């Protein structure tokens, strides 16, 4: 019985001490969005359009190319570097839109 009473007293003391030390955390401020003007939005869309047109040019349409080695994978390094150049061009373009 003493043991149960001691445990209850300790638990009550610990919860009281915890309640006194608890701090209320203030709510974070609401997010603020940067104003978008029609000019900057139009600029960003233009950059995306130019990049998409550029990337479409990276794809070569034509007859299927056969390889002399069975199971060989065609060289896609040219397409990858073309896509990278288009993406870089779009990023540079977009940086100019925010000025």
Q: How much is the pLDDT for 28?
A: 84
Locate the domains of the chain by residue range. 37-56+80-99
Non-local CB neighbours of 89 within 8 Å, separated by 6+ positions? 50, 51, 54
Whole-number Å distance between alpha carbons of 47 and 92: 9
- Residue given tokens 């001490």 in the structure block: 17
Q: What is the pLDDT of residues 55-65, one digit of tens each?
A: 998 887 766 55
pLDDT-derived band of residue 78, with 50, 70 and 90 as boundaries? confident
Token pair belonging to 95: 């940086």
pLDDT at 86 over 90: yes
Q: How much is the pLDDT for 61?
A: 74
pLDDT at 7 over 80: no
pLDDT at 16 over 70: no
Beta-carbon-side half-sphere exposure of residue 71 (alpha carbons within 13 Å): 0
Annotate 22-87 with DSSP letters as a single string.
--PPPPPPPP-PPP--HHHHHHHHHHHHHHHHHHHHHSPPSSPPP-SSTTPPPP-HHHHHHHHHHH
Separation of CA 48 from chain center: 17
Percent of the chain with pLDDT over 70: 55
Q: How much is the pLDDT for 60?
A: 76
Q: Is the pTM of this model over 0.85?
A: no
Whole-number Å distance between alpha carbons of 90 and 54: 9
């Amino acid at each position: 019985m003493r043991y149960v009473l001691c445990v209850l007293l300790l638990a009550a003391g610990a919860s009281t001490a915890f309640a006194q030390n608890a701090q209320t955390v203030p709510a974070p401020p609401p997010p603020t969005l940067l104003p978008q003007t029609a000019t900057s939005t139009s600029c960003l869309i233009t950059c995306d359009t130019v990049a998409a047109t550029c990337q479409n040019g990276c794809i070569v349409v034509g007859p299927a190319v056969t390889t002399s080695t069975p199971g060989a994978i065609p060289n896609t390094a040219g397409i990858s570097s073309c896509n990278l150049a288009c993406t870089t061009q779009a990023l540079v373009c977009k940086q100019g839109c925010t000025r």
